[in-house]
Structure 1
Amino acid sequence: MNPGERTSSLDVERESRQTAANGTDRKRPRSLLTIVAGILTLALLPVGIIAVLQTTRAMQVADATYRADRLAEAVRIATPEREAILSALGLASGLADALAVLEPGSEDCMRLLQQSAETQPRMSFIGFVEPGGISRCNSTGGMVELEPTVQADALFANPRTGLSFDASGEVTKAPVIIVSQPVRASDGALRGFLSLSFPARMLEEARDRLGFGPEVQLVTFRANGDILTASTDGALVEDILPDFLSLSELVGGGSQSFAAMNRAGEARQFAIVPIAPGQAYALASWPARGPLPGQTLLFLSSLSFPVAMWLVSLAVAMLSMQRLVLRPIGALRRAMRSFADRRQIPISPTLHDSASELRDIEGTFHRMAETITRDEADLENKVYEREVLLREVHHRVKNNLQLMSSIMNMQARRATSPEVRAAIRDLQDRLASLATVHGKLYQSPDMARVRADTLIDDVARQLAALGSSARTPLRLDFDLEPVTMEPDQAAPLALLTAEAVTNALKYVEPDEEGACWLRIRLTRDEAAEDGAIELTIENSIAPGAQTEGASGLGSLLIRAFASQLEASLRQTVSDGRYAVIVRFAPAPRQGRNA
């Protein structure tokens, strides 16, 4: 392999590595299978959603039907209480209107209430209660004096139709439900209350005849939450009520059915229905129902159908893609990678049994690869010829400069004037700097880039060896960072260095400590936006020593080379040292041309 081919191979390998590194920095693309799976999922998602919605709707309808059934059942369970309370309220309303025109102690009043008790055998007591709790007109035929109670006082303070439960039964000596109806005179004045009572045991017997099991629980209560009757013992009534609501909070919602925990911690299904709107309500409860028969299976089936469709579609799509797309694309990718990494082209087509579109792509790739291979071979030959020509040019320029330096050396030995010999010596130094630059370009493996740090080191050491005297030892200090730049910048930088070092050697003097030194520093400012390069050349001088003025040839050349570099130039004298500081931006790297 010739040098041009070797250089081109290195460039290709370097660009391949850079491309791979850039690829890893970016997010890895999704595979084709992942994309297809996502598309199938989106396509079948509406089917799954519709199936789930339909199943959910069916379950909601079943739940609504169940709640309606519980409400109807609650109405049937509360039928004895409903009939008894409504009958008592109607009778009380009618008798109160009749008593409005009768005297409480008259025989007509007594006869009316006794006849009413005979026609209503369920009523255990009917009486007209006057203020103070005295009943002179009642179904018992005698005067009854009732003990004052909080409920009675509240009724006289705020007359209204009332319902209450008396566990002891002051007249009947048995638990009774009491209905109270205000009796008013024609002028609206309150005369007293008509009080009806019927035994609670009668309601229990009626419920037993309906045949409800022990799991059904019933509570009737007033609008303010006071309990009238319950299907369980009085001590356990609180345990069968809903845990999160009071009875008075259930009144405003009308008929309703809901599931909740009771205060005993059991899951129950509750139903509330009005018995006498605004007066009495019934709350029934049953053990909470579990899932409807087949409910779980129905819900799972609604999900399994779209899932099964998705799995089958995905399996078919994966097998088809693997056989018809991925396998041929994998073979084509391996062929392309082999060509990209090693420039190897498959001898024969590998997609002979694939789709026509993929075969067309493979044929196009083979033609493209052959064209690229031929073009790269031509480019490598041209690059090699150009580099050989450039190396020959730099070599000849270097030899010609050395020849001119030798001729000038011969002329210097024949010159009699010290000024002429010094001028010729200055020209020789400048020619030596140019020869060093061309020598570096000739020896560099990359003709387009030059190591500025090694170039400056060689130029400075060569001039220091020629210009330092034996009686004044010169200490050289180098701090050179590795910097690579274009030849168009390296040449003026080397010449600027040569002029600055020549001036430094001309004016170097021992400092306060008696030492002569020359320091050269080359740095790159990575923090700067343009990555500026800074060159500093400083030498020791005696305190109060004078340096070359701005009109000297060396200073003029330094400014000219700095202008050529588009650099900023500073020359400072301080603390026994003289410094030349040059700062410039590196030129952007140019591409390799054929």
Structure 2
Amino acid sequence: MATTADDSRVGATTPTFMMRWPTGAKLLVILSIALLPLAIIAVFATLRITQIADTEARAGLRVAAAESSRAIAIELIGDMTALRAAVDALEADPGDTPSCARVQGVFAQQAFNGARFAVFGPKGRLLCGSSFPGALEVARTARDAAVAAQILPQRGLLLGVVGRSGQVTAAAYFPTDFLAELSRPSGFTPAYAATLIHGANELVLRSLARENAFERRENNLTDLGIGDLKLAMEVRTAPITSPLVIALLLPLVMWAAAAGIAWFVVDRLLIRPMRQLRARVAAFTPGEETDSQVIRALPAQELRELGDTFRALTKTVAIHEAGLAEGLVRQTKLTREVHHRVKNNLQVISSLINFHARGAKSPEASQAYASIQRRVDALAVVHRNHYAEMEENRGLSLRPMLGELASNIRATAAEGTQLRIQLDIDPYLVTQDVAVAVAFLATELIELAVTCDSAAQLRVSVKEAATPDRATLRVSSRALIESPELRDGLATRFGRVIEGLSRQLRAPLHHDPLAGAYEISIAVLGRD
């Protein structure tokens, strides 16, 4: 389960990381990944061609080395076989001149190239041939081997044999030029190097100078089958030249160039014009019309069509916004007319109530009419203030609204009532619904205080609350301190109305019975 969750997190973050890249960078990465296999295939093809050339050079070297070693081995083994036969014959009969003559006949052809031989008796006395430096020493070393070999650096090769009884020995000398001629393979045209090796000693038959430090060579080592001699040959393989380096690097250069050119073309023809078009769309303001010359200058036909579409949309938006503006003006006029008529109707209702109050036959009826008129006046005050604020539509200001409301309440108070209202209102703005509820709640609380004490002195304040979008409405008076009159007024007339208004304001109404204060938090739009 943990592994599945980890995999899902990885799959969710990878696209987000790629989506943060610019389109040009993503295009360059995608093209590079798409073209990279082709570059790799081209590089491997070039390397494969070089490997094939090396294989062909290696095969040719093996054939040449086999031919050269076979020619040298045949010559040396034949000569040493004839020399051994003479040693055996002279060991049996030191005066056997025909055997010596046969060996001289065998070495007669090589004598023109500097090859010589010598046969020695028991005390080192020359029996046949001609002595040469090192002959006796190499002949005596052949006691433990069929054929003893010794390399004379830069001079040639010494071979020695010994008879069956060890009394007669023989040695042969083959110069470097003779062996080099023997080792030349027929039909092998490349330059090569040939070296005769015996232990740690080497005899260079043909040298091959290095042309540069980066030259590569292929070598082959063949055993001659006589005297522990080996023939080493080497040839040059395909060198690391500038054409080879160019052939290896060219696919990579073409890969980078193809990805770069493709990115450059797409960036110039598509991405950059799209950025410019996006900038114009972002800077678009209603009523502005896009310049058609700018759209026609876009390099891609698809972008020009998109620009024309945007230009058509701007015209459509301008037409629609003009229609909306006209409709808003018409709707504003209708709303103002509705509020004006509501205000006039409320004024008519207030006048009718005042007319009937004058004809009331009892003080209780007059007070009832006055109470109803105060509530109608509260609603009329809200509508008048809302009608005045409609041009800016910022909301209703509580300070003038509550000031006018307090003036109306004092003006409609019953005779003999010594009502005083002190206002401390911060300049807050509220919606019409909140203003209606505040106006009714203030009216109910003021009338409740007057009911408890006809000489009530009230203080109405609106101050900031704990949060910027709230304010605190507070109505305080000594008449609102806990008393039987207050409890009776809440139980009979004002309690349910006040509770309903607090629910309309969506906040609890707090009563401090000792201080005689009511508080409630109201929603505000801001300060005036």
TM-score bracket relative to the smaller structure? 0.3 to 0.5
Give the TM-score normalised by structure 2.
Answer: 0.47
Q: Return the structure number with greater helix share.
A: 2
Give the TM-score normalised by structure 1.
Answer: 0.43
- Whichever of the two has the greater Rg, that structure is 2
